Structure formats: structure tokens, C-alpha cells
Copies of this chain bind each other. A is one copy, B any other.
Amino acid sequence: MEDEPSSRPAGRPRDPGVAARVLTAVQDLLITNGYAGTTIAAVAQAAGTGKAAVYRRWSGKADLVVAAVLALNAPVSVPDTGSLRDDLVECAMHYARGDERATRVLASLLSEIGHDPQLFDAANRAIGRPPVAALVAVIEQWVRRGAISADVPTELIAGIIPTAAFGSVTLRQRTLDTQTISDLVDHVLLPALTGAHGSSTQLL
């Protein structure tokens, strides 16, 4: 137990590693035990600290889970390869890269999200939105270049692969495979964006 003692003198800096370990422990417990099985006591134990150290930073479980979800937020870069198809594939491959951690955390929260607007907002901002925003940015980049009509419903089309990835992880417990992603780009996204099918021989 490397917790800060509750008698910590004023002015002594808190161990910044404790907060990170606690948030990682919350994510781990959500994935393995679900929301109901994620208790402050179990979190503290898994993080090698005490319940008091958790309550000093977060007001309770709801607050802690929101923080753990927001900590999953990782920026997704917007590729610019010179090819619309390659930009779309590179963006979409985010969903095949094995790091389904964020999606598994999201899946563990499904029973709660509908009843907790703050949690829904955190999950959307940290997990749902960043990769979709990168796909939207790719599409808008190619609208500016004239390859895609400005009338195309960008958000609707950008949401197809993220939604498929969510369904795959929550229902089948596995990330989208690279073949499905490139098929979706070639046979769904490109026709919807440009009217032309992609060639599946260009990549992979």
C-alpha cells in the first residue's frame, strides 16, 4: 500500500501516480466486473491505495467512472495520404488496432448510460466522438478538394464504421477485422461519398 497517509502534512505534494492508477483500475474493473461490480473498495485495492485516497479526489462512484471514461480520450490523427480511399482506410483502421479497451469500457456502461446524462456525455466525448471526428475531417478535406459533393451527409456516412465496430465489440466481443473495414470503405463509404466503388486490390 503506497497510499498517501491521511496525516499527510499540508504542502507535501500528492503522489500524481495514484490518480492515474486509480483511473486505470476503474477501467479494468468495468471491463471485467461490469458497472455494478466496480466498487470503490475494489478500485482502491486494485490501485494499491486506500478508499480515503479515492474519496479525496472524487466525490463517489459516478464521479469516478466519468473521470475514468474521460481518461480514455486519445486524440485520433487525421491522415492526409493524397488518396481519399487511403485516408478513409487509415482512419477506419483505428477500429482494428486491437485497442478495444475504450469500446469494452463503453460496453460495460450500457446499462447506466441511458439513465445518466453526465456519463453519456463523457462517454461520447472521450470514446465515441474522437475517431468519428477524424473520419468527418477526412471527408471534409476531400469535399474542399472537390472530390466529394458538399451535399453528402458527412456525419451519417462517417458514423457507419464506428457503429459497426461498436456492434462487433458489444455483440461478438471482438474488434472489426481489417477485411470488413476495407470492404466497408470500398463497397459502402466510397460509393456513398463519390458514387464510385473502391478497388479492394489497392490495399491490404
Contacts and interface: CB of A to CB of B under 8 A. Distances in A.
Nearest to A106: B171
Contact of A163 (B110, B111, B164): B164
Contacts of A130: none
A167 to B, nearest CB: 5
Interface string A153-167: 100110110011011
A191 interface: yes
Interface string A126-161: 001000000000000000000000001100110110
A82 interface: no
Contacts of A5: none
Contacts of A191: 191-192, 195
Contacts of A163: 163-164, 167
Q: Chain A interface mostly helix, strand, loop or mixed?
A: helix
A79 interface: no
A153 B113 CA distance: 34
Interface stretch (A8-16, A20-28, A45-53, A182-190): A182-190
B192 A153 contact: no
A110 B171 contact: yes
Interface in A105-129: 107-108, 110-111, 113-114, 120, 128
A36 B110 CA distance: 14
Contact of A157 (B36, B128, B188): B188
B173 A160 contact: no
B156 A183 contact: yes
A172 interface: yes
A64 to B, nearest CB: 20
A184 B156 contact: yes
Please name the 7 residue pairs, one residue from A and one from B, whose CB atoms are nearest each other, closest first. Answer: A114-B173, A191-B191, A163-B167, A191-B192, A188-B192, A153-B187, A110-B170
